[in-house]
Structure 1
Amino acid sequence: MSGEALQLEEPLKEGGIRSINFFNGRLLTGKDLSREQQARCEWDARLGLAVGDGVAFGLEVARDDDLDTPLTPVLRLKAGLAVNRAGQTLRLSVDTSVALTRRFDAAATVCDCVFANCNPLADGTYVAGAGVYMLTIAPAQLGEGRAPTNGLDPTNVRCNTDVTVDGLQFRLLAINPQRYIDLDIASLQFRNRIAYRCFGVEARAANAIDPWRSDPADYGLVDELRSQRLDDRDVPLALIYWTAAGLQFVDMWAVRRMLLAPDALSGFAFQARRRRLVEAQAMCAQFQQHLADLLAASTMPTALKATLHWRHLPPFGIVPLQRAALRGFHPVVFFDGIVHRPSQGSNQDIPFIDVRLLGTLRQEALGHAPIDLTQPEFIRIYRPWQNVRAVGDGQPVQPVLVFACGLASEFAVARFDMARFDFSNCADCCSGS
């Protein structure tokens, strides 16, 4: 209809889904039924696009402790569901071990793979310095079994596949070292810094000086890879650093995201883009996973300083503290070098917060940018008073501290008829807020 405007209530066929019109007496062929299947797939894909891409549930990735070795790394993936940018659902029905050194021959499948641009992975082990990889889940299709035929030469039948299986595959995509050449891979901060490169904090910071304009549609390392080997049918699951000594870390939330539906307000990205909230939630999950890994690997976690391992902190986080047999961190040492209120350096000076307010504090903090530890800006640190009281009563609970971006509201405020005299805050505790 070039040159003419569409009239109200005038049907528009362009982009419509074409289904076969069945009626008695119509001659049907295999092609007709395939077209009907394609129409149903298109309906499902449009629903998937409305839901958004990302991980719906499950699909957690970790080393397989039973099978993993330095030369033949193996990951264990939990059952789950993901949706890719093409609107396809990818369901892993059972927990599965995946070897990162591939021996499977994709060319030996019965039918052509729908995911045609799935490049084969290099065989064998990787050498030291090979660097960083992204594990993804993607669709795959293959034929299964043979169907009986009528009217075809049984000695020359090539199209009698019984069923077509829409399955899935896992891919390991190498990230070009030029993408992180300015980062010191030997640094304790490497995991944190490459994770926040995936979050695109540099691009976000550069855009912050001009909030009137929209954010760029694409930013961060994951988006950069989409112009190369990362296809819209891939769903990123984990960032992996692998050398000849084996897997150095498996970081899920550096690239893994919750379902992100299209945003009707994307033209006002700085104010309303859902992607900001999804990324903030991923930052919090990435920090907690990184912290747990450090706690498990450290022989003396009470000597660990946050500034040695993190360049950026999420806008909200929870830090477990050492207590007798319960492993954790030392509050003064962990936050050493970070400006915070209070600044006296004693755990007893940290203000209390009602644990019932943590959800509200987290929700507000997620709306703020991550904490850049190179900037002398303070963060808020709290002790949940219910947790402190339980520890004092001798209950077997893990003591914790909670931190939030300094731009978040002050929550260390006693509320009438809801506070405890011995678990409340004096005016000095909250000074400077």
Structure 2
Amino acid sequence: MFDTTRGPAREQLEPNVVKKLETAGTLVHDDRRLRSFFFDGRFLTAKDLTREQTYFLTRQADLGRGGGIGVVAGLHVENGPDPRALRITAGHGVTPSGEAVVIPRDLANVRLDDIPEIQRLDAAFGLAQIPRETARNRSGLYIVALRPVEYTANPVASYPSSAGGTRTAQDGDIIEATAVTLIPYPDSHAGAGYESRRSRVAHETFVRNGGMRPPVDALPIAMIALDHGVIRWIDKYLVRREVGSEQTDFLGFSQAPRALREAHLLQYQQHLKEVLADRKKSNRGERFAASEHFFTLPPAGPLPVAAVDPKSLTEVFFPPEVDVELSVVPEDELGALLEESLFLSPIDLTRTGEELSSTSVLVLVPVSRQSMDQALSTLFPAERSATVQLRATASGLVARRQPGEALRALTLRRTALAADTTSSTTTSTGPSLADAAWSTLLSSATTLWYARRRNFPYKPAAIGQTVEEPDDLEDDFTKVLREAELYDEFGSLPKRATALAISRAYTLMRSYAEGNYAAGKQLFAGAGGEILRQKWINSGAVQRVQQRYTYEYRGVGLSQLLSAVAEKYQYTIALPHFARASSVVELDKYALLASKDGKSGLLQETVYKSLFEGKTLDDAVAAFRKNYEHPPY
């Protein structure tokens, strides 16, 4: 085993062996790795000791690059006390050459118009241009960078090295320091606005993997835009990189380094926050297309809540050619989904519509795990695991909309039905109740995220294939199943129900679909919905639902309620409302008791008002219960 107390673990070569290896060309020299060989009786000079220091500084820089280059901690650039100053927090980092740069305390007032100091540093680092504008009138994009520097100080006596020499004074210490300087960024779009130039630099950096390469002896920590010396914006993540793996080819597939991908997400978050603040200040609202302010989007990130309309389930943020779907995710799983999406390439908004047509994005609604079941209570298991398509409504792109999209948009417009209308009874043809459930979920969302999705085809099931039932073979059971919007959910039963449970569920539901029960279709939808909403179904679960739906005068109250609402309000309660309610039995019993107690009008008004406001039958039952003292027994 290697013993660290006895020196480095290196093979000691004899001179004759060295000569043979050099002749064979198998001995490689590194001119930087040369140090003095000390022994008793040797006369030491300043050159020997200086070379010793240089050797260890070089080795230290090599080790610094091995640990990663970038910011280790701190070094955040913020607005200073006035528009011509910066504030830099304490921290340290590693330059591309491996040198450490350290700021031990916060720099609260770094003056950009400190002309003598800035000009002296620019000239020292070879950045001065002739002719050169004064620092107070600087305009353009600049990189704020930290450079490792050193200087000598603290004179000490120098004794003569010869008999005739005289005593002199020389600086006795070498002081290492960090200098803050500005590096002009070569911007080819100087005529554009500062916000547009910021977006172009982001596109050039994160999509094209280009942009200016900073010198190896400087650590970039931010990019700023100056307008005659006044700071217009500060963007840290355009040039700032955290310490980590900086390989240029991730896993050998020409993927950007992880630090660059993380920087893109952080830069986008900061830019989006400033855009929203600016739009709020100018009363322009938060519903806008991403292409208005960005040339590229990271593969995952936040988006404004107003970008998605909860009523029509449409979005305006992404180009209309992008396939956008909506889903819900527990808050504690959001980070893992975003992490996975970061492996994908950015969304380049400068591409044509045909190039973007293969891009898929998933909009995520974070929900706490405790309230997950409550938020999805009106959705069936298959709907919970599925996604909802969001349609694009970008302004100025109506011509690209498909005819079906325009027709559906018309059907989504809700118009009030006057109570004194003399027309015949109609059936509601609004959006599906599944869409209504998602709309309710979106309305209560405070944050939204998106994640780019992979585009390779896959099948969620290991075996099996969906086969549609031919129309000419449909019986009454299948027709009512479709009318209640339970067809797909019933078809998924083999994945989560026993064979005996499926048989009993079919027998129970068929008895209502084909029997002579009053309100038989409504009882069919109610019983079927209660069975199908369960995650795992066995025969006992079906039996418990059957017992709930076994009582005297079953369906009589519902039949009376349906007839009264249709006659009074010219409104037919669609079957999906019953399929998604868990209190159909209670509503049936309440309707029968209310007719005996003279409360039928109150129940009818409560049900109609709840459904007209986009609520559910369960909400109607709960509202009626508050105003009715008798339990439904």
Q: Does 1:142 align with 2:151?
A: yes
Q: Aligned residue for 2:448?
A: 401
Alignment partners' CA distance in 1, 2:194 and 2:118: 38
Q: Aligned residue for 1:214?
A: none
SS at match of 1:18: coil
**Letter in structure 2 aligned against 1:20:** S
Q: Which moved more, 1:247-256 or 1:14-23?
A: 14-23
8 Å CA contact 2:95, 2:216 repeated in 1: yes
Q: Aligned residue for 2:73?
A: 57
The alpha-carbon deviation at position 169 of structure 1 amounts to 0.8
Q: Does 1:290 align with 2:275?
A: no
Q: Does 1:99 align with 2:75?
A: no
Q: Aligned residue for 1:379?
A: 361
Q: Does 1:369 align with 2:345?
A: yes
Among candidates 224, 230, 238, match of residue 240 of structure 1: 224
User: What stretches of structure 1 of length at least 5 have no aligned partner?
Assistant: 203-218, 224-229, 322-328, 344-349, 423-433
CA 1:43–1:163 in structure 2 vs 1: closer, same or farther (change >3 Å)?
A: same
Q: Does 1:76 align with 2:90?
A: no
The alpha-carbon deviation at position 123 of structure 1 amounts to 3.6
CA 1:292–1:398 in structure 2 vs 1: closer, same or farther (change >3 Å)?
A: farther
CA 1:105–1:352 in structure 2 vs 1: closer, same or farther (change >3 Å)?
A: closer
1:38-61 deviations in Å (ceiling 9; x for gaps):
011011011012123222221111
8 Å CA contact 2:146, 2:179 repeated in 1: yes
SS at match of 2:257: helix
User: Kindly, what percent of the aligned residue pairs are identical?
Assistant: 22
Q: Aligned residue for 2:55?
A: 39
8 Å CA contact 1:80, 1:93 repeated in 2: yes
> What are the equivalent positions in structure 2 for 1:130-279 lying under 5 Å apart?
130-151=139-160, 157=168, 160-177=170-187, 179-180=188-189, 185-186=192-193, 188-199=195-206, 201-202=207-208, 219-223=209-213, 230-244=214-228, 246-261=230-245, 263=247, 271-272=252-253, 275-279=256-260
Q: Does 1:5 align with 2:24?
A: yes
1:118-159 deviations in Å (ceiling 9; x for gaps):
4358643125xx32111111111112222233348999835x
SS at match of 1:404: strand
The alpha-carbon deviation at position 260 of structure 1 amounts to 4.8
1:161-211 deviations in Å (ceiling 9; x for gaps):
12111111112122234x335xx6227543222222123x23xxxxxxxxx
CA 1:42–1:336 in structure 2 vs 1: closer, same or farther (change >3 Å)?
A: closer
The alpha-carbon deviation at position 232 of structure 1 amounts to 0.9
Q: Which moved more, 1:98-107 or 1:277-286?
A: 98-107
**Letter in structure 2 aligned against 1:74:** A
**Letter in structure 1 aligned against 2:95:** N
CA 1:382–1:134 in structure 2 vs 1: closer, same or farther (change >3 Å)?
A: same
Alignment partners' CA distance in 1, 2:179 and 2:88: 12
Alignment partners' CA distance in 1, 2:165 and 2:451: 71
SS at match of 1:256: coil
**Letter in structure 1 aligned against 2:157:** P
User: What stretches of structure 2 of length at least 5 have no aligned partner?
Assistant: 1-18, 351-355, 376-443, 461-495, 497-532, 535-633
8 Å CA contact 1:260, 1:275 repeated in 2: no
SS at match of 1:134: strand
Runs of 4+ aligned residues of structure 1 deviating over 6 Å after TM superposition are 106-109, 152-156
The alpha-carbon deviation at position 278 of structure 1 amounts to 1.9
SS at match of 2:234: strand
SS at match of 1:241: strand
CA 1:188–1:250 in structure 2 vs 1: closer, same or farther (change >3 Å)?
A: closer
When the two chains are superposed, the root-mean-square deviation of aligned CA atoms in Å is 3.9
1:94-133 deviations in Å (ceiling 9; x for gaps):
1113222233458989xxx9x9634358643125xx3211
8 Å CA contact 1:387, 1:400 repeated in 2: no
**Letter in structure 1 aligned against 2:34:** R
CA 1:275–1:148 in structure 2 vs 1: closer, same or farther (change >3 Å)?
A: farther
Alignment partners' CA distance in 2, 1:408 and 1:385: 26
**Letter in structure 1 aligned against 2:175:** V
1:300-332 deviations in Å (ceiling 9; x for gaps):
4743413311121111102464xxxxxxx5544
CA 1:107–1:303 in structure 2 vs 1: closer, same or farther (change >3 Å)?
A: closer
Alignment partners' CA distance in 1, 2:171 and 2:178: 19
Q: Which moved more, 1:168-177 or 1:381-390?
A: 381-390
CA 1:22–1:156 in structure 2 vs 1: closer, same or farther (change >3 Å)?
A: closer
CA 1:251–1:29 in structure 2 vs 1: closer, same or farther (change >3 Å)?
A: same
- Between structure 1 and structure 2, the one with the greater Rg is 2
1:265-307 deviations in Å (ceiling 9; x for gaps):
x6x6683567432211111000111122223333247434133
SS at match of 1:384: strand
1:204-257 deviations in Å (ceiling 9; x for gaps):
xxxxxxxxxxxxxxx51123xxxxxx4210111112111138222111111111
8 Å CA contact 1:54, 1:258 repeated in 2: yes
8 Å CA contact 1:196, 1:254 repeated in 2: no
CA 1:373–1:106 in structure 2 vs 1: closer, same or farther (change >3 Å)?
A: closer
Q: Aligned residue for 2:385?
A: none
CA 1:261–1:380 in structure 2 vs 1: closer, same or farther (change >3 Å)?
A: closer
Higher relative contact order (CA 8 A, sep 6+): 1
**Letter in structure 2 aligned against 1:310:** F
CA 1:161–1:334 in structure 2 vs 1: closer, same or farther (change >3 Å)?
A: farther
Alignment partners' CA distance in 2, 1:378 and 1:275: 20
SS at match of 2:158: coil
SS at match of 2:157: coil
Alignment partners' CA distance in 1, 2:329 and 2:69: 36
Alignment partners' CA distance in 2, 1:302 and 1:105: 44
1:321-371 deviations in Å (ceiling 9; x for gaps):
4xxxxxxx554498445346666xxxxxx4211222222212211111111
Q: Does 1:27 align with 2:10?
A: no
8 Å CA contact 1:338, 1:378 repeated in 2: no
- Number of matched pairs: 355
**Letter in structure 2 aligned against 1:166:** E
1:365-390 deviations in Å (ceiling 9; x for gaps):
11111112343434210101218949
CA 1:357–1:79 in structure 2 vs 1: closer, same or farther (change >3 Å)?
A: same
Q: Which moved more, 1:329-338 or 1:301-310?
A: 329-338
SS at match of 1:23: coil
SS at match of 1:253: coil
SS at match of 2:153: strand
SS at match of 2:135: coil
Alignment partners' CA distance in 2, 1:342 and 1:119: 47
Alignment partners' CA distance in 2, 1:364 and 1:272: 16
